[in-house]
Amino acid sequence: MRRAALLLLFLSITFPLYSQSGSYDILITGGRIVDGTGNPWFKGSLAIDGNRILAVGRTPPGSPRRTIDAGGKVVAPGFIDIHTHSRGGIFQVPDAGNYIRQGVTTVMEGNDGGSPLPLPEFFEKLRKTPVAVNLGLFAGQGSVRQKVIGLINRKATPAEIGKMEDLVRTAMLDGAFGISTGLFYVPGNYTPTEEVIALARIAGEMGGMYISHMRDEASGVLDSVRETIRIGKEAHLPAQITHHKIIGRQNWGCSDETLRLVAEARAGGVDVTIDQYPYTASSTGTAALFPQWSLEGGRKALLERLGDPGQRARIKAEIITRIRDDRGGGDPKNVVMASCSFDPSLAGRNLGEIARAKTGEATLEAAAETAIKIQESGGCSAIYHAISEADVERIMQSPYTMVASDGGIPVFGKEVPHPRSYGTFARVLGRYSRDRRVIPLEEAVRKMSSFPAARLKIMDRGLLRPGMLADVVVFDAGAVRDRAEFLHPHQYAEGFSHVIVNGKAVLLDGKMTGELPGRILYGPAWRSHGSDGAQ
């Protein structure tokens, strides 16, 4: 009897029943189906009933309530962005138009070691705010450490590690998909590898993954990749190098070696993968120019150090090195302010310009002094042009690399954010797949859909299959392109005509519909043991 009931359940999911009227909700006809597997496209229709896919490749019997003529465009699974910083913007811009207009239907938060704690408070706020995209969370190791230890540069005691393990365990039960680190940032940078392994092991035992902004993406990138691999191996969980890049001209070309390390690790049984955004510039706060030791204890402690002439000189010397050899790409003009709350007029201006206006020159020394004054005033977010196009393309071609934006949900027209928030997925499809032929179309879609879905163990999204949840995008492969530019980032991607989230059309004929059908996604250990891991 139980076996028969399970069979009926399987059939009801795989081949959903039509309503008694014989009608269903949406029929997409005339498209080229790129199903997310990486297999070649094929012509056919796709039907949706309720929030699930009803049929793929054929037109089912019955009458659709809405027919969409794809007209030879690509029909693909909704894209999953495994690395975003959307938890602030989603409440200001709940339709997430910058992501929807480039086909993204699911975003992941809690990256780079920073997340809300406890998670239920954030989920409750999100539950009260209808949104257009699905959203899931990682637990941030930096947030966990700060809660237990603060911003102090020392090893954790066994008792403190126990408290942090409890916080990770609770976060996993509350719905986290795993643990993230920002080992470049404070306090993640103060964390010994063994401590990370202890926390990652808890996440792994509960079905989660490890995703890391590594300790160094410049001269120490190889050791950082080795550390990420070690954490995955010793903690026994999937590990991901997030927004993989090679920073600093003298380090360009190292992606040959980082990709070799990943391939060898996988051949040896370590489950390590990569995600990447398709730009030659990164974005983070101006604190990235400061040595991590100077940031211990937070802003007040930094200001005290800067008030001491000896320590100020030492900090300044290290900032000069970072502008010359690291994120500055050898020239202060490569550091461009994105947003500065204390002086909005600085947004869009580079560090060389600002230094020249303040000191009369744009030397490395003048730029370092200007960076100190900016940080003393509250700091800015900035864009750093220090990455090689050849490394971007080489990393993209790896079969172990997926696409992720590292972006957020900006208020349209406000400040000068990195264009990746508006253009990442369209840029891969247009510039890199179609124009430069770095990867085939089908592989690009796989890197945006089934690959991150499998990584996250979201088994009912990321593919076009009957019974899967209906996150579907329709775009013109010949016209898709990113329009966002570094100095003019607030420009939506082009080429996407229809985006469907959980069976509801959020973008229709290129226009936002006002529908807000996004759902909270919960990780593998969610204590409520929901039937599909979603709310």
* pLDDT tens digits, 13-59: 444 444 445 899 999 999 999 999 999 999 999 999 999 999 999 99
Joined tokens for residue 476? 């013109």
Q: What percent of the chain has pLDDT over 90?
A: 94
Which H or E run includes 63? Answer: strand 63-69
Structure confidence by residue, pLDDT tens digits, 404-458:
999 999 999 999 999 999 999 999 999 999 999 999 999 999 999 999 999 999 9
Residue 6 has pLDDT above 70, yes or no: no
Dihedral angle computed from the Cα positions of residues 250, 296, 284 and 164, in that order, rounded to the nearest 10 degrees? 110
Q: ω before 118 within 30° of 0 (cis)?
A: yes
DSSP codes joined into one string, 78-129: PEEESSEE-TTHHHHSTT-HHHHTTTEEEEEE--TT---SSHHHHHHHHHTS
Q: 379 with 407, same domain?
A: no
With bands split at pLDDT 50, 70 and 90, how would you rate the model's confidence at 347?
Answer: very high
Q: Indicate whether 34 belongs to any domain.
A: no
pLDDT of amino acid 527: 82
CA-based R_g, the chain, Å: 23
Q: Which residue has the tokens 């470049």?
A: 184
Q: Indicate whether 217 belongs to any domain.
A: yes
Q: 407 with 377, same domain?
A: no
Question: Stretch 312-320: mean pLDDT, rounded?
Answer: 96
Joined tokens for residue 326? 């690291």
- Residue length, the chain? 535
Question: Stretch 132-139: mean pLDDT, rounded?
Answer: 98
Which H or E run includes 315? Answer: helix 309-325
Dihedral angle computed from the Cα positions of residues 418, 423, 429 and 434, in that order, rounded to the nearest 10 degrees? -80
Question: Stretch 227-244: mean pLDDT, rounded?
Answer: 98
- Which has the closest alpha carbon to 178: 242, 99, 221? 242
How far CA 180 is from CA of 240, 271, 284, in Å, comes to: 9, 16, 17
Q: 106 with 151, same domain?
A: yes
The burial class, CB within 10 Å (0-12 / 13-18 / 19+), for 118 is middle
Q: 240 with 379, same domain?
A: no
Q: Indicate whether 524 belongs to any domain.
A: no
Q: Indicate whether 126 belongs to any domain.
A: yes
Q: Indicate whether 452 belongs to any domain.
A: yes
pLDDT of amino acid 529: 46
Strand, helix or coil for residue 133: coil
The model carries a pTM of 0.93
Q: Is the distance from CB of 97 to CB of 513 less than 8 angstroms?
A: no
Question: Stretch 132-147: mean pLDDT, rounded?
Answer: 98
Question: Stretch 5-10: mean pLDDT, rounded?
Answer: 44
Amino acid of residue 117: L
- Cα angle, residue 272 at apex, residues 267 and 274 outer, rounded to 5°: 120
Q: Over the chain, what is the mean pLDDT?
A: 94
How far apart are the C-alpha atoms of 299 and 296, rounded to whole Å? 8
Q: 211 with 86, same domain?
A: yes
Q: 330 with 445, same domain?
A: no
Joined tokens for residue 11? 């059939």
Residue 466 has pLDDT above 60, yes or no: yes
Which H or E run includes 54? Answer: strand 52-56
Residue 534 has pLDDT above 80, yes or no: no
Joined tokens for residue 446? 């796989």
Domain count, the chain: 2
Q: Indicate whether 511 belongs to any domain.
A: no
Which H or E run includes 180? Answer: strand 178-182
Q: 326 with 440, same domain?
A: no
- Which of 326, 357, 383 is the C-terminal boundary of a domain? 383
Joined tokens for residue 445? 């879609």
Q: 414 with 440, same domain?
A: yes
Residue 88 has pLDDT above 60, yes or no: yes
Structure confidence by residue, pLDDT tens digits, 482-530:
999 999 999 999 999 999 999 999 999 999 999 999 999 999 999 864 4
- Which has the closest alpha carbon to 224: 246, 202, 200? 246
Q: Indicate whether 207 belongs to any domain.
A: yes
Residues paired with residue 140 on neighbouring β-strands, in sequence order? 180
How far apart are the C-alpha atoms of 62 and 12, rounded to whole Å? 18
Residue 2 has pLDDT above 80, yes or no: no
pLDDT of amino acid 22: 86
Q: 158 with 194, same domain?
A: yes
Structure confidence by residue, pLDDT tens digits, 167-176:
999 999 999 9
Question: Stretch 353-374: mean pLDDT, rounded?
Answer: 94
How far apart are the C-alpha atoms of 30 and 243, rounded to whole Å? 36
- Which of 366, 383, 400 is the C-terminal boundary of a domain? 383
- SS in 3 state form for 226-240? HHHHHHHHHHCCCEE
> Going by C-beta distance under 8 Å and a sequence separation of 6 or more, which residues neighbour residue 535?
123, 127, 519, 520, 522
Q: Indicate whether 43 belongs to any domain.
A: no
- Which has the closest alpha carbon to 501: 130, 218, 70, 193? 130
338-360 burial code (b ≥16 CB/10 A, e <16): bbbeeeeebbbbbbbbbbbeeee
Residue 135: which CATH number?
Answer: 3.20.20.140
Q: 196 with 310, same domain?
A: no
- Which of 331, 363, 383 is the C-terminal boundary of a domain? 383
Q: Is the distance from CB of 216 to CB of 180 less than 8 angstroms?
A: no
Q: 257 with 323, same domain?
A: no
Joined tokens for residue 527? 């204590």
- The DSSP letter of residue 280 is S
Q: 147 with 216, same domain?
A: yes
pLDDT of amino acid 16: 47
Structure confidence by residue, pLDDT tens digits, 245-297:
999 999 999 999 999 999 999 999 999 999 999 999 999 999 999 999 999 99
Strand, helix or coil for residue 488: coil
Residue 86 has pLDDT above 50, yes or no: yes
> Going by C-beta distance under 8 Å and a sequence separation of 6 or more, which residues neighbour residue 20?
none
* Parent domain of 310: 289-383
